[in-house]
Amino acid sequence: MILVTGGAGYIGSHTIKVLLERGYRVVALDNLSVGHREFVLCDEFIEADLLDPKALERVFRDHSIRSVVHFAARTAVGESVENPEVYYYNNVVGTLNLLSAMRAHEVKEIVFSSSAAVYGDPEVLPIPEDHPKRPKSPYGRTKLMMEEILSDYAQAYGIGYVALRYFNAAGSDPEGVIGEWHEPETHLIPIVLEAALGVRDHVEIFGTDYDTPDGTCIRDFIHVVDLAEAHVLALERLREGRASPAYNLGTGVGHSVREVIEVCREVTGRDFRVVKGPRRPGDPPALVADPRKAMEELGWRPRYTELSEIVATAWEWMRKLYARLGRF
Ligand code: UFG
């Protein structure tokens, strides 16, 4: 059985869906602080916090867990700057508790949800896995610390791990069963789509004076279902004992904020107001993955290579969600 922590969250819930489709048995754990109970598609769900070692002990005692896929973490960069304590406790202490329970129950496989935020400002583009790691936020530092903890635990205790460094996760389950739903929303694509839907008055571009072709930041958007697939491939490779410690997950193609806005206009067929704003502190000008290692070693191929396809799945989901919530 596979334990998925953060199974009610955006990427965790999509990964559970793919794991179930591949025939894996899954138990999900989530404290529901930001996740959504109805996103958990596996039969077994435990509402528990990684900061509660007794609850964790019960999960491992009551289930025959072979591997862990670990998503549970706070993920908002800005919030981590304002309130680092929440990040160090939830992300780092939570992971330590999880690893203690794994050790106690001799669970030796963990796939870890890491981030491009471990790199900080890129020195080269696209970014390879061995790029210097200088995270610019407490959030990014917690992800790097957790990777380092996993590396030390692998050495000392023989726990096998893979860290998957996502670039910008986007899009939603094409079947429309689950999708992206953050409150408050801070991510670019859902914000632009909210403006297209009319539930948001306008989109503000955070910085138009970057040293990029159109002056706005560049990001590498990767579909959440492609991310989910990579977790399954990484787990399988880990079980064969052949996994590398870390893989970048991105398409290798960057899109500027202005391009994203244009693609959203085309996909939705709607227009909305866009205003220029100041830079958001901490934003690197460009983040683009070199994903070759995941492609070569894991045999991973992102299926959503066009930004318009990614946006289309996000748009379909958002219209459905907001209709259900009665927000438009
Ligand atoms: N942006 C805007 N206006 C908005 C929202 C975002 O212009 O209203 C811009 C941002 O300034 C940035 C780009 O759109 O240039 C993408 O912003 P997101 O907030 O969607 O994503 P980030 O690139 O900031 O964050 C992602 C992940 C984080 C990770 C980070 C690494 O979501 O988990 O990359 O830097 F930490």
Ligand 1: atom nearest CA of 143 is 36
> For the segment 40-58, what is each residue's pLDDT rounded down to a tens digit?
999 999 999 999 999 999 9
Fold of 188-219+252-288+305-325: UDP-galactose 4-epimerase; domain 1 (3.90.25)
Q: Is 185 in the pocket of ligand 1 (CB under 6 A)?
A: no
Catalytic residue among 10, 119, 139, 166: 139
Please give the distance, rounded to the nearest whole angstrom, from the Cα atom of residue 327 to the centre of ligand 1.
24
Q: Domain residues of the chain, as ranges?
A: 2-170+221-249, 188-219+252-288+305-325
Asked if pLDDT for residue 328 goes beyond 80, the answer is no
Tokens of 66: 């072979």
Ligand 1: atom nearest CA of 203 is 8
List the beta bridge partners of residue 286.
218
Name the band, by pLDDT with cuts 50, 70 and 90, for residue 281.
Answer: confident
Reported in sequence order, the residue ranges of 182-249 that DSSP labels E, i.e. its strands, are: 202-206, 218-219, 221-223, 246-249
- Among 182, 259, 283, residue to substitute to test ligand 1 (most atoms within 8 Å of Cβ): 283
Predicted model pTM: 0.97
Q: Which of 302, 294, 178, 166 is nearest to 237 (CA)?
A: 294
Asked if residues 230 and 14 have their Cβ atoms less than 8 Å apart, the reply is no
- Among 74, 77, 165, 218, residue to substitute to test ligand 1 (most atoms within 8 Å of Cβ): 77
Residue nearest to atom 11 of ligand 1 (CA): 206
Q: Is 182 in the pocket of ligand 1 (CB under 6 A)?
A: no
Q: Which of 6, 65, 60, 11 is nearest to 31 (CA)?
A: 6
> For the segment 115-135, what is each residue's pLDDT rounded down to a tens digit?
999 999 999 999 999 999 999
Ligand 1: atom nearest CA of 137 is 36
Share of the chain above pLDDT 70, in %: 100
pLDDT at 158: 97
Please give the distance, rounded to the nearest whole angstrom, from the Cα atom of residue 7 to the centre of ligand 1.
23
Please give the distance, rounded to the nearest whole angstrom, from the Cα atom of residue 219 to the centre of ligand 1.
8
**Domain 2-170+221-249: assigned CATH number:** 3.40.50.720
* Burial of residue 322 (number of CB atoms within 10 Å: 0-12, 13-18, 19+): middle
> For the segment 184-235, what is each residue's pLDDT rounded down to a tens digit?
999 999 999 999 999 999 999 999 999 999 999 999 999 999 999 999 999 9
- CA atoms within a 13 Å half-sphere pointing along the CA-CB vector of 84: 8
> For the segment 18-28, what is each residue's pLDDT rounded down to a tens digit?
999 999 999 99
Please give the distance, rounded to the nearest whole angstrom, from the Cα atom of residue 220 to the centre of ligand 1.
10
139 catalytic per annotation:
yes
> For the segment 131-163, what is each residue's pLDDT rounded down to a tens digit?
999 999 999 999 999 999 999 999 999 999 999
Tokens of 81: 């700057």
Mean pLDDT of the chain: 97
Please give the distance, rounded to the nearest whole angstrom, from the Cα atom of residue 173 to the centre of ligand 1.
21
Q: Is 259 in the pocket of ligand 1 (CB under 6 A)?
A: no
Average pLDDT over residues 292-302: 98
